[in-house]
Chains A and B, each alone.
Chain A
């Protein structure tokens, strides 16, 4: 597994947390983003993601919605509470599963549908990061 080294002093590299119960999705996302200059963390469950959020400062969370136990919206709600500055994006193959009002309440900046387009995904992440940096 390839992981870019974090800059020990500053935070020149934004830290992304990718959450999906499907390991192959994480693997594909990591592949897609490997030249984007991010430090990438992955979690296969909401529980693991919350653990990482507790330990690390995260700039953006990209989470699947339908996961065993708790949903992506639930996680992003926690993210907003734990690290309000982190960008929040949802990625889902379950298009009608999330209501607009939920998205708004949790402050999800974008919902990405699976299968995604690499270029669009990268653009979404850049937009979300620059928005949350402001």
Chain B
């Protein structure tokens, strides 16, 4: 027992009339440590005392008779130890006491006062050891329960696999996400649920084989029903004391709803930009509709003219067949007069011209509608090798409908490889950038006031070129430009410099996310009053997975920070 140990508490159950009682007190006074002694005379009092607090030892005098048995019974299972004080020739009683759970037995005799402290001290030391061990075991059990509680109840799924990739532990959330019954995952191959990504390996396999760590990597699981569940997964190797790997732990979350929301936001942002384009598109459709509609009315008039000439022609035929020269002469004259009156030469040639123009007009409308439909499509969620020039051009032609009256659009499409991408999402990015370019120019024109004759000198340049194992798309405008202070924030969600209601503030942040998803970069340079340049770089093939640490900082939001430097 260490010296630092607190006061030793001893309960002595001994009839007060006994001479030994004072001996006991004196003897215990020699324990060599602070002692607090409670003298009691009944089992009930003794129990009261031991229940009250941390008692280290009970000394019970056999003279109390049956009360001693009661005391022994009460402390047998949970302590503290009970030492019996027996009289001479009390072997029988002592044996009985041991059977009933006494820790030790002391004979009252000449050496009573010497033996008692030794026995007491030994019992206290042992008991304290037991108690400490019990406490740390309890503490361990508590910690285990605590951890277990967290694991069982946390809203993330957790799975542990051994070095062979077999599940050794999985929490209820993991079972829930996979749709399996409790315990069903244990001993099964983790890869039977995990989808291999582009590299042909699952994240867990890669962690097991390469000791790689992943944080928040996007992958997918197969639900029991066969449904694919998108998940965000963090995966780390499990290492033992020597640092050798004996398994892996994976924490994952169901991203189904997140994905759904994301696609809804994406779609509504897209629809918002279509709304913004609506006036321009309507104008672009109304022009051809205008002349098609008018031409149709005119063509039906032409048709009437031709029909009446045809009637005259039939009369002429009749006259010719009748063999009557006067009738024939009359019919020829009448046909000639009508033809000249209706200007049938003109009608004939203008009819085909009107038809041709109308066909061209309807073709134009078809194109616009096609572009719009292409643009409003939801992505299939599949990565496709796509022609970026085409995606950019069809998007530009929609935006062009609203900017053509004020802006010169210059296109320079390079000879670029196809890019593995989500084409609809990229179109959304191009749309955002082009609409922003348009707004920047509109704002500049608004600031300058509409002066100048035919002053369509404002320009938007779009350019594509091969670059660093991928494709670079640049969109430059001569608009108002961006304040240096704002440059660092333009990719933040909900940041907007537009008037309330004029922009969601999500366009660029979404564009940034989309480009990041493609493993690409978006970069901006701008000067207030001189215009802006946005450069999007896309790798030819998307990396297998979004890595933890971009190898060369590519995924960092590099543009915004350095642009004003």
Q: Say whether B294 contacts A70, CB under 8 Å.
A: no
Contact B294 A68 (CB under 8 A): no
Residue-wise interface mask of B (252-294) relative to A, using a CB-CB cutoff of 8 A (1 in contact, 0 not) = 0000000000000000000000000001001111111111111
Q: A46-B454, A68-B454, A97-B279 are in contact. Are A32 and B287 (CB under 8 A)?
A: no
CA distance A66 to B407 in the complex (A): 12
Interface size class of B (residues with CB under 8 A): 20 to 34
* B138 contacts chain A at the CB level, 8 A cutoff: no
Tell me, yes or no, whether A51 is within 8 Å of chain B by CB. no
Are the C-beta atoms of A70 and B354 separated by less than 8 Å?
A: no
CB distance from A63 to the nearest CB of B (A): 14
Task: Give the secondary structure class of A's interface.
Answer: mixed
Minimal Cβ-Cβ distance residue in A for B294: A28
Q: Which residues of A are found within 8 Å of B343, using beta-carbon distances? A: 2
Contact of B298 among A28, A69, A97 (CB under 8 A): A28
Name the B residues within 8 Å of A45 (CB-CB): 454
Q: Is the CB of A114 within 8 A of B298?
A: no
Assess the B283–A2 pair: CB atoms within 8 A: no
Contact B357 A47 (CB under 8 A): no
- Binary flags per residue of A104-134, CB closer than 8 Å to B gives 1, else 0: 0000000001111110000000000000000
Give the CA-CA distance A124 to B374 in the complex, in Å. 40
B297 surroundings in chain A (CB, below 8 A): 32, 118
Chain B nearest CB from A54 CB (Å) reads: 14
If A24-B360, A66-B405, A67-B405 touch, does A93 touch B454 (CB 8 Å cutoff)?
no
Residue ID in chain A nearest B298 by CB atoms: A31
- Within the assembled complex, what's the spacing in Å between the Cα atoms of A31 and B354? 9
| A115 surroundings in chain B (CB, below 8 A) | 286, 289-294
A12: Cβ under 8 A from any B Cβ: no
Q: Mark A7-28, 1 if CB is under 8 A from B, else 0.
A: 0000000000000001011011
A-facing residues in B339-387 (Cβ within 8 Å)? 343, 346, 350, 353-354, 357, 360-361
Contact with B454, one of A25, A47, A96, A113 (Cβ below 8 angstroms): A47
Which residues 74-114 of A have a CB within 8 angstroms of B? 74, 91-97, 113-114
B289 to chain A, nearest CB (A): 4
Q: Is B282's CB under 8 angstroms from A69's CB?
A: no
Instruction: List residues of chain B with CB within 8 A of the CB of A22.
Output: 287, 291
Residues of chain B with a CB closer than 8 A to A46's CB? 454
Scan B291-320; emit 1 where CB is below 8 A from any A CB, else 0: 111110110000000000000000000000
Cα–Cα distance between A29 and B283 once the two chains are bound (Å):
17
| A residues less than 8 Å from B294 (CB atoms) | 28-29, 31-32, 115-116, 118
Q: Which residues of B contact A74 (CB under 8 A)?
A: 450
Give the secondary structure class of B's interface. helix
Q: How far is the CA of A83 from the CA of B342 in the complex (A)?
A: 35
Of chain B, the residue at the smallest CB distance from A20 is B287
Of the candidates A25, A47, A67, A68, which one forms a contact with B291 in the assembled complex, judged by CB atoms under 8 Å apart? A25
CA–CA, A53 and B212, complex, Å:
78
* A22→B288 CA distance, assembly (Å): 9
Let me know if B53 is at the binding interface, CB within 8 A.
Answer: no
Chain B residues positioned under 8 Å from A95 (CB to CB): 279, 282
Minimum CB–CB distance from A74 to chain B (whole Å) comes to: 8
Name the CB-closest residue of A to B297. Answer: A118
Residue contact B298 to A94, C-beta cutoff 8 Å: no
The answer on a CB contact under 8 Å between B357 and A27 is yes
A25-47 vs B, Cβ < 8 Å mask (1 yes, 0 no):
10111011000000000000111
Would you give the shortest CB distance from B360 to chain A, in whole angstroms?
7
- Report whether B295 and A28 are in contact in the complex, using a CB–CB cutoff of 8 Å: yes
Q: Which of B405, B406, B453, B456 contacts A47 (CB 8 A)?
A: B453
Q: Check if B329 is an interface residue, CB within 8 A of chain A.
A: no
Contacts A22-B287, A25-B287, A95-B282 given; indicate if A118 touches B298 (C-beta within 8 A): yes
Contact among B282, B298, B354 with A93 in the assembled complex (CB-CB below 8 Å)? B282
Could you tell me if A94 and B453 are in contact, using CB atoms closer than 8 angstroms?
A: no
- Interface pair B290/A68, CB less than 8 Å apart: no
Q: Does B404 contact A (CB under 8 A)?
A: yes
Chain A residue numbers with a CB within 8 Å of B454 are 45-47, 68-70
Most buried by B among A46, A47, A92, A115: A115
> Which of B282, B288, B295, B357 touches A94 (beta carbons < 8 Å)?
B282
Q: Is the CB of B295 within 8 A of A93?
A: no
Would A114 and B456 count as touching, CB distance under 8 A? Answer: no
**How far apart are the CA atoms of A68 and B406 in the complex, in Å?**
6
Q: How far is the CA of A97 from the CA of B280 in the complex (A)?
A: 10
Ranked nearest first, the 4 interchain pairs of A and B with the lowest CB-CB distance are: A93-B286, A69-B454, A114-B290, A28-B291
The interface of chain B, by Cβ under 8 A from chain A, is: 279, 282-295, 297-298, 343, 346, 350, 353-354, 357, 360-361, 404-406, 450, 453-456
- What are 26 inter-chain pairs, A to B, with CB distance below 8 A? A2-B350, A22-B287, A24-B288, A24-B357, A24-B360, A25-B287, A27-B353, A27-B357, A28-B354, A31-B295, A31-B350, A32-B297, A66-B405, A67-B405, A68-B406, A69-B454, A69-B455, A74-B450, A91-B290, A93-B284, A94-B283, A96-B279, A115-B294, A116-B293, A116-B294, A118-B297
Add 8 more A-B contacts to A28-B294, A31-B295 (CB < 8 A): A25-B290, A28-B357, A67-B405, A68-B406, A69-B454, A69-B456, A97-B279, A118-B294
